[in-house]
Chain A
Amino acid sequence: MRCAVLQFPGSNGDIDALEALRSFENVTAELVWHQEKSLDSFEFILLPGGFSYGDYLRCGAIARFSPIMQAVQKAAASGTLILGICNGFQILCEAGLLPGTLIRNRNLLFRCEERLVRVETSDSPFTKKISSGSVLHLPIAHGEGCYFAKEETLQELHDKDQVLLRYATSKGEITKDANPNGSCENIAGICNQKRNVFGLMPHPERACDELLGSTDGRMIFESILDHVHHGAGTSL
């Protein structure tokens, strides 16, 4: 699988993502600077975490106008798998590739800790190797990760099965205490209607090695790899 990890001024999860991807077999991964204009040679595109453009104006608002984002729009339209982690999720929302937006954590705290998320569906290229209802240990690190969308958008996400991850307890219960940032309906990650663009606030790339305390992030990348190598046909 040929992977691109995009690099914006202020990205800081780019090297983590690169290292995580390179720990898989049959994967090549390279950094692509935001001034580049083409992503045609890649099968998977990752927008990493960080503080692109210092989060000026709104998180992700300025990165959206980087030249590379035209190529991301084109890749999204052609069905290429795109993953936005943390700031990458914020950029995808600002770019209109995912609905809703991410606002200041309701409790105003910058949350940097391990959290539990429940996988809501296996019906996506990003979760196809994970049983629905599984609880993953993933780290979070954000101050503006409160997912917000209008009532009709939330309803549509629900109707089209676009919520892939929710903050949950170890038993998989969706509770207020399990929600670190006040996100609507405990939403931690969503995909688009075509199911090829996925944004999430937790960091799967920082949960790919025993040394880091969890390898649950690998399941997301294994799903992506499986999808790219075997197509939509195979699943659990």
Chain B
Amino acid sequence: MKVRITIMPQAAVLDPAGVATAHALEHLGLHGVSSLRIGKLIELDIEGATEEELHQACRDLLSNPVMEDYCLEVIS
């Protein structure tokens, strides 16, 4: 099973790196960026795990529910 997990900072959490990168895009000449947020993308191959176990791993380790949301997709 191939799984893709996208982890993003929650909307209420300030993302200083995202803000700085948005400013850099302005300097590059790409204007009109109203929001830029930086998260993480994790891909893993795993056999024998249930989706619930994967969700548990997302909550316990791969994301921090205090500040991040995650999205889990089974790709194949």
Q: Does B41 count as interface, using CB distance less than 8 angstroms?
A: no
Is A66 an interface position by the 8 A CB rule? Answer: no
Contact in complex: B16, A104 (CB < 8 Å): yes
Binds B, one of A28-36, A105-113, A191-199: A105-113
A181 nearest CB neighbor, chain B only: B16
- Chain B's nearest CB lies how many Å from the CB of A89? 14
- A103 and B14 in contact (CB under 8 A), knowing A57-B62, A108-B20? yes
Nearest CB to that of B20 among chain A residues? Answer: A108
Residue from A103, A108, A150 with most neighbouring chain B CB atoms (10 Å): A103
Tell me if B67 and A103 are in contact (CB < 8 A): yes
Cα A160 to Cα B5 in complex, Å, equals 37
Query: Judging by beta carbons under 8 Å apart, are A106 and B66 in contact?
Result: no
The reply to whether A61 and B14 contact each other, CB–CB distance below 8 Å, is no
List residues 114-160 of chain A with CB under 8 A from any CB of chain B: 146, 148-150
Q: Inside 8 A of B16's CB, which chain A residues have their CB?
A: 103-108, 146, 182
How far is B12's CA from A182's CA once the two chains are assembled, in angstroms? Answer: 15
Check B28 for interface membership: any CB of A closer than 8 A. no
A24 at the interface (CB under 8 A from B): no
Per a CB cutoff under 8 Å, which of B14, B17, B64 touches A58? B64
Interface size on B, residues (CB 8 A): 11
Can you name the residue of chain B whose Cβ is closest to the Cβ of A149? B66
Return the chain A residue nearest B61 by Cβ. A61
Complex CA distance for A93 and B66, rounded to whole angstroms: 10
Q: Is B13 an interface residue (CB 8 A)?
A: yes
Q: Which B residues touch A149, using CB under 8 A?
A: 66
Taken together as a complex, chains A and B put the C-alpha atoms of A99 and B64 apart, in Å, by: 12
Among A61, A106, A150, the residue within 8 A (CB) of B64 is: A61
Alpha-carbon separation in the docked complex, A104 to B67 (Å): 12
**Complex alpha-carbon distance, A5 and B13, angstroms:** 33
Q: For residue B12, which residue of chain A has the nearest CB? A: A150
Give the CA-CA distance A218 to B66 in the complex, in Å.
33
Question: What is the minimal beta-carbon distance from A65 to any residue of chain B, in angstroms?
Answer: 7
Specify which chain B residues have a CB less than 8 angstroms from the CB of A146 in the assembled complex: 14, 16
A75-115 with Cβ < 8 A to chain B: 93-94, 99-101, 103-108
Which B1-29 residues have C-beta < 8 A from chain A? 12-14, 16-17, 20
Beta-carbon contact of B61 and A57 below 8 Å: yes
Chain B nearest CB, measured from A201 CB (Å): 16
* Nearest CB of chain A from residue B18's CB, rounded to whole Å: 10
**Please, how many angstroms separate the alpha-carbon atoms of A156 and B1 in the complex?**
42
Taking CB atoms, residues of chain B closer than 8 Å to A61 are: 61, 64
Partner among B17, B62, B66 whose Cβ is within 8 Å of the Cβ of A150: B66
Given contacts A100-B66, A182-B14, A182-B16, 11 further A-B contacts (CB under 8 A): A57-B61, A57-B62, A61-B64, A94-B64, A99-B66, A101-B64, A101-B66, A104-B16, A108-B17, A146-B16, A148-B67
B contact set with A: CB distance below 8 Å: 12-14, 16-17, 20, 61-62, 64, 66-67
